[in-house]
Amino acid sequence: MTERPHRTTAGNGALSERRPPSAPETDAAPAPRLLPLGQLLGAWESEAQAAFDARTKGVARGPVSGLASLDEALGGVLHPGLHIVHGGPGAGKTALALQMAGTCGVPCLYVTAEMRPLELLRRITARVTGTYLGRLKSGELTPADSLAKARQAIQSVPGLALADACDAFAAPDWLREAAVAVRGDGRHVLVVVDSVHSWSEASGVDLPEYDRLNAAIGALRALAGQLGCPVLGIAERNRASMTGGGLNASAGSRRFEYTGESVLGLSVDEKGGTPPPVGETPVVLHVAKNRNGAAGKRLRLAFAGALQRFTDLGTA
């Protein structure tokens, strides 16, 4: 009888699968490096040249959010590392992440641990084709018309691939291999995890929630480092911060705000201001943490829920 692997936490805190003795681990753990500052000048020069070339040619150096105000606030691109989006139920977290995945300008692996892939395709189709989400479910479109809209949506996001982790845990090693496959011969890739809480829960590790989330956050941060790419994680909010948001609003672990390159909070704009178009909800995107620019900026967005579409309205 073959022994089944069971999940545990690796020495670096990452979620993994422990194999029986017949399948030993072969990868040696990375060792720290001693770096006199002068040894960094070569890498500095390469980065400076790449930044200059990108700016003069008007080419992004990695994935973008697709929202001009947010890209400007984050230093032009989503820099490598872990980025967190949190918000209360119905704030549009999945819609925002899915829109960013489709408009980031590079291949993207969207890991869904909550919503079924077919539903995500409907939401992409609603945004791309301008078709109300309800019409894609009601049966009022002929199958041929409905399929044509889905094909139009798929053609508009050729670099987007979905990883269905609703029924099976997508282990970090699997995610790394999938992201490499999605990236192909390109230089950049964006990984989205929806949501970090659901993904960590599916791991099945026998740990309290706080420790399990810490392991999950560590694994996603390590994944970003291994790939040299940004990982965008959707987080649930804790009850105390459900309406107010803030830097510490992610539920379950302080590592969300401590390890994130950026922490973005979505909240319905209760204060008003310039109203968005009819049928759209005013939303504030708060850049609570930002390692690549100024933190504290509040960006005004309009969310059309029926079309699963966010529109950039500038700085609040």
pLDDT in tens, the chain (316 residues): 444 344 444 444 446 543 333 333 445 677 999 999 999 999 999 989 988 998 898 888 899 999 999 999 999 999 999 999 998 777 899 999 999 999 999 999 999 999 999 999 999 999 999 999 999 999 999 999 999 999 999 999 999 999 999 999 999 999 999 999 999 999 999 999 999 999 999 999 899 999 999 999 999 999 999 999 999 999 989 877 767 777 877 878 989 999 999 999 999 887 766 667 777 999 999 999 999 999 999 999 999 999 999 999 987 6
DSSP-derived secondary structure for 145-197: HHHHHHHHHHHH-TTEEEEE-SSS---HHHHHHHHHHHHTTSS--EEEEE-HH
Tell me how many degrees the CA angle 227-78-87 measures, rounded to the nearest 5. Answer: 110
Write the CA distances from 254 to 76, 157, 194, 245, 259, integer angstroms. 27, 34, 19, 14, 9
Rounded Cα distance, 255 and 197, in Å: 13
CATH architecture group of domain 67-263? 3-Layer(aba) Sandwich (3.40)
Q: What is the pTM of this model?
A: 0.87
Give me the residue spans of the domains in the chain.
Answer: 67-263
Report phi then psi at 69, rounded to 5.
-65, -40
